[in-house]
């Protein structure tokens, strides 16, 4: 869960498409692609795809539903306009390298 301005988001994996398709091996470089599938009134759905950087093989794909809730009392609340806009805009082409190695090529 994550707290944002008096709100928290609770997540649950709603669907694992094919679960694990192929295993990753030690020292494989894995890219994680995230995209917004749906933004509702009080929830949004993100797709996460794990891909081998070397050859583009999809390792697994998951859809996760995040539901926004107030902190006291714990009730559903609407997705704020700024968060809705950011989710719908996405971050095409944005690369975040957390490998500790050389910067990724764009």
Whether residue 14 is predicted with pLDDT greater than 80 in this model: the reply is: no
- Please classify residue 7 by burial: count the beta carbons closer than 10 Å to its beta carbon, then call 0-12 exposed, 13-18 middle and 19+ buried: middle
* Percent of the chain at pLDDT exceeding 70: 75
pLDDT of residue 23: 86
The pLDDT tens digits of the residues spanning 40-79 come to 999 999 988 999 999 999 998 888 888 888 877 888 889 9
Q: Within a 10 A sphere around the Cβ of 51, how many other Cβ atoms?
A: 18
What is the spatial order of strands in the sheet that 30-39 belongs to?
Answer: 2-4, 7-20, 58-70, 43-52, 30-39
Alpha carbon dihedral 81, 87, 89, 95, in 10-degree steps, equals 140
């Amino acid at each position: 869960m994550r707290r944002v301005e008096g709100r928290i988001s609770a997540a649950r994996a709603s669907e694992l498409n094919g679960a694990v398709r192929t295993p990753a091996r030690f020292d494989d470089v894995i890219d994680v692609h995230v995209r917004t599938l749906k933004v509702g009134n009080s929830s949004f759905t993100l797709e996460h795809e794990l891909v081998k950087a070397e050859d583009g093989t999809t390792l697994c794909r998951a859809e996760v539903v995040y539901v926004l809730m107030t902190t006291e009392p714990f009730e559903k609340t609407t997705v704020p306009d700024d968060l809705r806009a950011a989710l719908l805009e996405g971050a095409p082409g944005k690369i975040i390298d957390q490998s500790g190695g050389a910067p990724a090529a764009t």
